[in-house]
Chain A
Amino acid sequence: MYSEQEIVAGCKQGKALFQEKLYQLYSRRMMAVCIRYTKSRFEAEDIFQEAFVKVFKHIHSYSGGSFEGWMRRIFVNTAINQYHKSRKYQEQVDYSTIEESSPSEEDIVSDISGKELLLLIDQLPEGYKLVFNLYEVEGYTHREISEMLGIAEGTSKSQLAKAKSYLKKILLTYSMKEKC
């Protein structure tokens, strides 16, 4: 059994054994990242492969800190690049008509599994989903998101607010169906 540091060191030396270990260690988690940022599994698989290749090719630039965080950034950036290539963001449907609502006290998320949650988030419009994932899950700031997506910071904030509101509705609907 190898520690993460040993695996990373082995990968830096280009040893195939450690590269495979690294793949086995993170492939499932990184695949989930890819799926969160794409509409189809096909697209996710492409991003997954491309990002993993990037990880191995640029592993020498990893200088410390959380390796998983470093890897995740590569995967997210690859997904964003893919998103730009497909120009889906420009064809974004305007969901501005969605009304914002105040936070409710009821916790409807705790009863929903991660897989279900993923499917529900996946129902968000593409732009909302991106901003929501980047801000709420990955922890990027609005400034970073605006730079990554090439949008205004205010747009990022408003998209996030709308995404939360939209997701709440979806969750409520889902929750009601569950209870029924």
Chain B
Amino acid sequence: MLNDKELENIRRKMLELDEEPPVKAWAAIQAEIKPRHRWRFFWWLSSALLILSAISVYFFWDKLPIHTAAPSASAHVPSLAQTPKPIEKQDHSTHSTQKDQPALSISEPEHLLPSAETKPNAEGIKPDLEKAASPINRISKNNLLSQPNIKAPITKGITLKEDSILLIEANTGKIASMPGNPDKKTKPEFQPKHKEKLENNSLPGHNLMQGKSTKPDIEIANTEVTTKKQQTNSDKTGPSSFSENTLSIKPPSQEKLNTPADLEQDRSAEFTNTDPTTSPLVETPVGIPAPDTASVVLEPDTASQAKETIIVTPPGSKGSKEWTVGLFFSPRYSFRIVTPSSSDDIYIENLTTRPKSGSERMGYELGISVSKAITNRLYLESSLAFMQLKENVAYSYTTGKVDTLLRKGSSDGQQIQLTAVYASGNRQLVSSYAYGGWRLGATYYFWQNHRRRFNITMNGGINLLVKGQTTEVINGQESKTINFPSKENILEQTNYNLLIGAGYSLQVMEKYELMFMPTLNYFLGSTFKAREPFGLQPYSLGIHVQVKRRLK
């Protein structure tokens, strides 16, 4: 029996004992403890969709008509005095009936000038505005300046403060600018009233656009809406005011203006400066009908100057919504990534890679595709394909069984060293897989002319194994052949893949196009899933040759 001292010695020596850990054990452990991405395919798909969405949004945005462009405070906006002349020309040519109208005038707000008269307190203005009988319509200067019937003060630039108010006087048709918005509470009060009133009087006319998308749109049908004496007199609720910063205007329809009623209404649209002390402004004729394709956006900048931008809406240029169908063929050369699989009793000593130039790894893919133009440059496409991939992998392995014990004695014959030699074997797997695949993706032509174009393509899809075969060769002798998929699980070896490529297309006939595109096809799953002690994640390089035909 061992005594306590011996046992303590044994214990100490056993606890201090070190042993060399298995080679590459850390890699295997690391692979197991690494967080697994269960939704890896969805992650890839989501990423691809996100990129496609971003590209789509970018190009849709690029193609959108500019008349909805929102003004920005930092953008440079030319002053009203720099109104382009074409607008004036259209004024005379398209709206001759307005010649009879008294011209509206815009006066320089005196509060902008450093004189005593121009500094009346705000309280002094408001009561005047609130006189119900007063035919004064109070409009934000920006809205008013952009009305089509208001001739832009070309000869004299007007600078208005952001909060200043323009007065349109019904009797004389003059516009006065007043110190703006002493009482901020009026802003929310008047907006809904005006909107309702303007909607009730809506005629084919002008769009009043908002500087900020969060504010409600206000639409003015005609300038008569706010200049009719009867209407302003009957409106006992007080003067109208616009608090919006911008106004875009469509011209009134010709037919409407030519009717007697309209002419009568136009004649009645006269404004008088009833109180020169409150609006002692310089009179300037106004009344510019905007062209059909023009919108006027006015915006005050931070320097307290009213400026305008005239943006001509480009003619609609939506991409042709053409369809294309195509046939493609792609020779594919497979590579693979070896991944650890579930633990078993087999110890792989060496994984042999076959020669990279071997024909065993050449496969091909052929199929049909259909695509639809989303824009001139962006195509959404889908394809059905048949793909054949090949694998050839060999490895030496052992199950841990001792085959031979090598006995080695020391020179003096007193020591014997026994070395175990494990039984090992060689295994080779020659596989061929035929997949049916469906892909969905997009092609973007980043450069194109009438004959040739260059594209980038990104597709994601699913592959279903149609037929597979693996021939097992053990120690140089063919052992057995395994056929896939098994009857028990026809979805065996289902895989997902991601394809990216960049190519060149050439128009060969009027409706045909030939495309050459090097592609990389990356499989997201392993092809050797549960049957082998390791997994193979193939990826293949190929040249996509495709003939496309355009369908209108």
Contacts and interface: CB of A to CB of B under 8 A. Distances in A.
A57 B33 CA distance: 7
B18 interface: yes
B11 A164 contact: no
B25 A48 contact: yes
A58 to B, nearest CB: 11
B9 interface: yes
Interface string B2-28: 110111011101111111111001101
B400 A43 contact: yes
Interface string A135-147: 0110000000000
B10 A109 contact: yes
A50 interface: yes
Contacts of A43: 400
A112 B12 CA distance: 12
Contacts of A165: 1
A4 interface: no
Contact of A42 (B2, B28, B400): B400
Given A53-B29, A117-B14, A167 B343 contact: no
B5 A107 contact: yes
B86 interface: no
Given A14-B35, A103-B1, A180 B30 contact: no
Interface stretch (A23-31, A89-97, A150-158): A23-31
Contact of B20 (A28, A52, A102, A112): A28
A47 to B, nearest CB: 11
Nearest to B31: A53
B32 interface: yes
A87 interface: no
Given A100-B1, A109-B6, A31 B20 contact: yes
Given A49-B22, A109-B10, A118 B1 contact: no
Nearest to B18: A28
Contacts of B33: 19, 53, 56-57
B1 A32 contact: no
A7 to B, nearest CB: 15
A50 B32 CA distance: 10
Interface residues of B, number: 33
User: Which secondary structure dominates where chain A touches chain B?
Assistant: helix
A35 B32 CA distance: 22
Given A109-B9, A136-B10, A165-B1, A27 B414 contact: no
A107 B21 contact: no
A137 B10 CA distance: 8
Contacts of B400: 40, 42-43
B2 A137 contact: no
Nearest to A72: B15
Interface string B399-435: 0100000000000001000000010000000000000
A114 B21 CA distance: 17
A67 to B, nearest CB: 15
Given A27-B25, A102-B1, A117-B10, A50 B17 contact: no
A108 B10 CA distance: 10
Given A28-B21, A32-B19, A46-B343, A137 B1 contact: no
B43 interface: no
B30 to A, nearest CB: 7
B17 A118 contact: yes
28 contacts: A19-B33, A23-B26, A23-B29, A27-B21, A31-B20, A31-B22, A32-B14, A32-B18, A34-B19, A35-B19, A36-B14, A36-B17, A45-B347, A46-B343, A49-B32, A56-B29, A57-B33, A103-B2, A107-B3, A107-B9, A109-B13, A110-B6, A114-B13, A117-B10, A117-B13, A118-B17, A136-B10, A164-B2
Given A56-B29, A113-B13, A137-B10, 20 more contacts: A19-B30, A19-B33, A20-B30, A23-B29, A27-B25, A27-B26, A28-B20, A29-B17, A42-B400, A43-B400, A45-B25, A53-B32, A53-B33, A103-B1, A107-B5, A109-B5, A110-B6, A114-B14, A115-B17, A177-B414
- The 6 A-B residue pairs whose C-beta atoms are closest, nearest first, are A42-B400, A31-B19, A114-B13, A28-B18, A27-B21, A32-B17
